[in-house]
Chains A and B, each alone.
Chain A
Amino acid sequence: MQFTLNGTTVSLDVVGTRRLLDVLREDLNVTGTKEGCGEGECGACSVLIDGQVVNSCLVAAGQVDGCDVLTVEGLAWGDDRLSRLQQMFIERGAAQCGICTPGMLLAAHALLEQNPRPSEDEVRTGLAGNLCRCTGYTKIIDAVLQCRR
């Protein structure tokens, strides 16, 4: 199978029924994507497939054949230039333990791509599939609102 991962074409030979999450972490060594619940409840493993946010624990690897996959590694512009959203997460203290952060960033990125000026309610709805047990969400929502265009 072949797909685009963070702008680069990857070809690999894997059993198509394996979870995309496991193929990313174990075969491609792209470990920014975290496993939380493994049941589609927590959003920690969120990635974008063709611009749509999904839980990679619920996607069979074969299903991304020919697709464009974005993980947290693809958000930054190179190793030392974080995206505006990532920068704002740091400035606003929106990350604590960090396990929800990659998924939270991708859900927020997808939201801002589809709706560049979301209201606070729309941000809350857009991030409703991503659980954070540290921040109480306030700083995360604040960081996303700062990135409105």
Chain B
Amino acid sequence: MPALTYLRPRDLADAVRLSYQSPEARPLAGGTDLMVMLHAGIVHPQALIDLWSLKELKGIRAADGGVEIGAAEPYTGIIGSTLVAQHCPALVAASRTIGAAQIQNRGTLGGNLANASPAGDTLPVLLAADAIIVTDRRTIPIADFFTAYRKTALQLGELIVAVRLPASARGVRFRKVGTRAAQAISKVVVAVNREPARIAFGSVAEVPLRARSAEAALARGDVEGAVAAVAGDIRPIDDVRSTAAYRRNVAQNVLRDLLDASTSR
């Protein structure tokens, strides 16, 4: 294997320049996915552009009635943030379910998004929250972000800088179903919002997705209709972690549970 070049940009502008000049490079943040894939020989970039310590990609701040989170801010920062707790408690809950301390200290929203795993635990929350992905050149509504299995709308060399959550993110609710409480890769992840009506799932299709027909039913106030519609919206498969039948069943049951709970409040 040829030696892989390590590039450490001084600042965001330098990172953007490096990324533009070296399309065969991969951005590196906390490494929780990329380092595994590199070591296993699943990916073969020519260089890594280390974004981990860039100040412009860190931090959590209030923005437009919501909150903006730096792309390389680790989950530990999100879990400890009073701003995120106030503007999107579901994201704090989702961040707590990601690995344990070791992963929470390194994993980032930017990495979770760019990696685009259908099992990425924060991604349904971001979908239900109508998150806006801020890159070095534009903003991308998250509804347009996941295009195919592990593929995103990011252009060659485009870097995620931050994730912006609007005021409506406050109402999002979240549940993850895995094999055990800690260190589990999810079998099903569900995130819902009432206003506007949003229903998003992870681990039940090749991409994290919004259940559009279920959302249409929810918008009419039809909870049972939404639960029934989910069956047509998701595309679960049998794999090492679970079966399609189990995922379909649990997706519907958890959705009903989350929607019932949000009605009775």
Q: Contact residues of B with A, CB < 8 Å?
A: 3-6, 8, 28, 30-32, 35-36, 38-39, 48, 50, 52-53, 76, 99-103, 105-106, 181-183
Q: A43-B102, A60-B31 are in contact. List 17 more A-B contacts (CB 8 A).
A: A17-B48, A40-B35, A40-B36, A54-B105, A58-B30, A58-B32, A58-B35, A58-B102, A59-B31, A60-B48, A63-B28, A63-B31, A65-B8, A107-B102, A111-B101, A129-B99, A129-B102
B6 to chain A: which residues have CB within 8 Å?
15-17, 60-62
Contact A128 to B35, CB < 8 A, known contacts A55-B103, A58-B30: no
Contact A60 B35 (CB under 8 A): yes
Chain B CB within 10 Å, residue with most, of A17, A128, A131: A17
B34 to chain A, nearest CB (A): 9
- Some 29 contacts from A to B, beta carbons below 8 A apart, are A15-B4, A16-B48, A16-B50, A17-B5, A39-B36, A40-B32, A52-B76, A53-B102, A53-B105, A54-B102, A57-B35, A58-B30, A58-B36, A59-B35, A60-B31, A61-B6, A62-B6, A63-B50, A125-B100, A125-B182, A126-B101, A127-B100, A128-B101, A128-B182, A128-B183, A129-B99, A129-B100, A129-B101, A129-B183
Check: A30 CB closer than 8 A to any chain B CB: no
Check: A41 CB closer than 8 A to any chain B CB: yes
Contact A54 B106 (CB under 8 A): yes
B52 to chain A: which residues have CB within 8 Å?
63
Q: B102's contact among A15, A40, A125, by CB below 8 Å, is which?
A: A40
Contact B50 A60 (CB under 8 A): yes
Report the Cα distance A17→B103, complex, angstroms.
19
Check: A38 CB closer than 8 A to any chain B CB: yes
B166 to chain A, nearest CB (A): 31
Chain A CB within 10 Å, residue with most, of B28, B35, B76, B102: B102
Check: A141 CB closer than 8 A to any chain B CB: no
Report the Cα distance A74→B35, complex, angstroms.
25
Q: B28's contact among A55, A60, A110, A129, by CB below 8 Å, is which?
A: A60
Q: A62's contact among B8, B32, B76, by CB below 8 Å, is which?
A: B8
Report the Cα distance A58→B103, complex, angstroms.
9
A55 to chain B: which residues have CB within 8 Å?
32, 102-103, 106
Report the Cα distance A62→B6, complex, angstroms.
7
Check: A92 CB closer than 8 A to any chain B CB: no
Contact A15 B3 (CB under 8 A): yes
Residue of A nearest to B3 (CB): A15
A39 to chain B: which residues have CB within 8 Å?
36
Check: A19 CB closer than 8 A to any chain B CB: yes
Contact B103 A40 (CB under 8 A): yes
